[in-house]
Amino acid sequence: MRDTLAVTSLDIFVEDNLKTLYQATSKKVFDIAFESFFAEHLDVTVNGEAVSRAQYKQELWCERYAERNATVAFHGVLAVPSDNEHLNEAGTVAVFLTSAVQFVAPSGRPTQELVTASYRLIIEQDKSVEHHGERAQILEIRKVTSVDVVVGRKDESEDL
């Protein structure tokens, strides 16, 4: 018998987790968010180039300019479930977002960089999570197993 979990939709799952990653206020918060969202064995492609999970984690953290202020706006999300009977458990999600990262440059000048990204993520049930009764209700058992991202950055410092 399958346990029934009250889980968020795939699109909300992705939006919430990406927002948490981009807006993490410390490396510790970022690390926890990254590990809970991405599977241990993750296929990653950034701008057409395969990168390791560890390299992607480092790039994503640096992209946020470590402990700076970031806002995230989602401009489109499409979720396609893998199974029409269990719509929220697994599938493919495409997301288009922008993140404005604001910080003070070493010169003391307020600086902003606009990060624009398009993500395609494959989400599956994490088989490594124990799935027993009540415990399953508090654990997120979905993980991203593949991510393909196209990302660009634009310095908007002059506009501040």
Residue 38 amino acid letter: F
Q: Which residues contact 140 (CB under 8 A, 6 or more apart)?
A: 7, 13, 36
Split into its structural domains, the chain has a count of 1
Asked whether residue 1 is assigned to any structural domain, the reply reads no
Q: What is the pLDDT at residue 47?
A: 97
Residue 145 to residues 22, 29, 65, 96, Cα–Cα distance (Å):
19, 21, 25, 19
B/e letters for 8-23, b = 16+ CB within 10 Å, e = fewer, are: eebbebbbebbbbbbb
pLDDT tens digits for the chain (160 residues)? 344 455 789 999 999 999 999 888 788 989 999 999 999 999 999 999 999 999 999 988 875 555 567 889 999 999 999 888 878 888 999 999 999 888 777 777 888 888 999 999 999 987 765 555 544 444 568 999 999 999 998 887 654 4
Asked whether residue 5 is assigned to any structural domain, the reply reads no
- Provide the CATH number for the domain around residue 146: 3.10.450.50
Asked whether residue 4 is assigned to any structural domain, the reply reads no
Range of the domain at 149: 10-159
pLDDT tens-digit map of 95-136: 999 998 887 777 778 888 889 999 999 999 877 655 555 444
Q: What is the pLDDT at residue 138?
A: 42
Asked whether residue 3 is assigned to any structural domain, the reply reads no
Instruction: Choose among 54, 64, 52: nearest CA to 23.
Output: 64
For residue 99, what are its two tokens? 């993140």
Asked whether residue 2 is assigned to any structural domain, the reply reads no
pTM: 0.82
Asked whether residue 112 is assigned to any structural domain, the reply reads yes
Q: What is the pLDDT at residue 140?
A: 66
Chain position carrying tokens 């809970």: 36
CB 93 within 8 A of CB 147: no
Residue 13 amino acid letter: F
